[in-house]
Structure 1
């Protein structure tokens, strides 16, 4: 299903290269390091990850619902070192059969899905047993901190409206384990602007 967030999409496409220069590109490389086989990237945005996929990846299905960002991703796919197919779709209904994917990549997208449990259930469904979920997301701050209070206010007011459905106060690591994944590595660090920080980056496995 196509979606349109024209203002946010254009702001994101302009801001993403600057964020990469500030350190996000290194995070993307770490996120994708060691991947192999067939991959689905959920919420591919403007294709900022495409240049970082290792040669062992045989193909990427890049799912993006926002029409402006999807067009940007399609242009970037031509320059990727691995085959990338950009398709319209949403995280809660991936256009893939059960157990058909070796890895799912979720990069700055689980903040904006309407329901994390539904999106993660879809990731679990399309992954083969033993397949990996790679995640790089901004998440809720430490409880009762000043940033925690700022995030709660942001989510309760206008943040989601002007940021393409983003929510800054989500406990994404807990949502991943609740969905049935086993987290094998996770790193938590401060990065990015307030209130969209801190971040987590890691790997989780669908049990065999």
Structure 2
């Protein structure tokens, strides 16, 4: 693992080979379709992973720039881009330092990534910068739990083992507040547990929504 935190080879193999397929079987694909529905024009997706969102982008997207700093996942995303229904450019940039000029994109997508970015405030500020005025941020993230008891569990696992095992992931981030603090206006948001399990999980609380750059 390198000093900038972008290499997570064990987690990348586990996510691409085990966790990702399991989540798709649990219904993740439906949320990915809802996340990308109605997008058009130039789109940037941060933390694109190995490209599981690519098949769901609608044909009105003229170009998708997929940002993924983890080398193994980026290689898999490059392979997935070859069969995507829209033109996809995969780049190894980091979300905290996007190499694009101001107002470059019509929309942005953040999918299960703001939990693991080292500086989510910087990443959201960058998304705000590269979106055109009126541009939309679509987000699908697991977030801070609703109950105080589960928030205590999240604080414990985030301070001990969870980020080390899960590629820097934090279970208890207040993502909606972070999006608002970056200057976005949240226009739609849905809260739900995913995947549905009998045993409560610190990573179960999810949100799916849209925010607009005024």
Range into which the TM-score falls when normalised by the shorter chain: over 0.9
Distance 1:85 1:164, change over 3 A: same
**Residue 95 of structure 1: CA displacement?**
1.7
Structure 2 equivalent of residue 199 of structure 1:
206
Matches within 5 A, 1:1-208: 3-14=6-17, 15-145=19-149, 147-192=150-195, 194-207=201-214
In structure 1, what is the Cα distance between the partners aligned to 2:129 and 2:148?
Answer: 35
Q: Deviations over 1:17-44 (max 9, x none)?
A: 2211211100000000000000000010
Distance 1:156 1:42, change over 3 A: same
Matched-pair contact (CA < 8 Å) for 1:155–1:168: yes
In structure 2, what is the Cα distance between the partners aligned to 1:182 and 1:20?
Answer: 30
Kindly report structure 1 stretches of 4+ aligned residues shifted beyond 2 Å. none
- Provide the aligned C-alpha RMSD in A: 1.2
Q: Deviations over 1:49-77 (max 9, x none)?
A: 00000000001000000000000000000
- SS of 2:207's partner is strand
Across the two proteins, how many residue pairs are aligned to each other? Answer: 206
Q: Deviations over 1:77-124 (max 9, x none)?
A: 001000001010111011211001001100000001111211100000
Name structure 1 gaps, 5 residues minimum: none
In structure 2, what is the Cα distance between the partners aligned to 1:151 and 1:3?
Answer: 23
Name structure 2 gaps, 5 residues minimum: none
Q: TM-score with structure 2 length normalisation? A: 0.94
- SS of 2:171's partner is coil
In structure 2, what is the Cα distance between the partners aligned to 1:2 and 1:63?
Answer: 15
